[in-house]
Amino acid sequence: MPSIRFSERSRCVNGHGWTILPLAPIHEDIMARRLTGAALIDPVPVRRLILSYPADRPVSRLARFAGEILSYLSEHVLSLPRSY
């Protein structure tokens, strides 16, 4: 069974509706002009990201490094304005 996002995307690509989807899964469609996108500005949607590590064992250096990179990206890169 197709996912809900895929179904919503398909309906929109075929001209049968509007929906709100994250940019990542439809970026190619926007670039190929199969879909158009617009930022939601009033109210702006908010997403909370939570980074957690296991409490029952030490965190590996690689996991710690990946967490630091994800933290940096979420603070610095994801907050940049987007153009559609």
pLDDT at 57: 94
The DSSP code sequence of the chain is ---HHHHHHHHHHTTS------HHHHHHHHHTTSS------SSPP---------SSSPPPHHHHHHHHHHHHIIIIITTS----
pLDDT at 13: 85
pLDDT at 66: 94
Going from N- to C-terminal start, the domains of the chain cover 1-45, 47-79
Question: Could you read off the pLDDT tens digit of each residue along the chain, which spans 84 residues?
Answer: 455 556 788 888 888 888 888 888 888 999 999 998 888 888 877 777 788 998 999 999 999 999 999 888 888 776 666 654
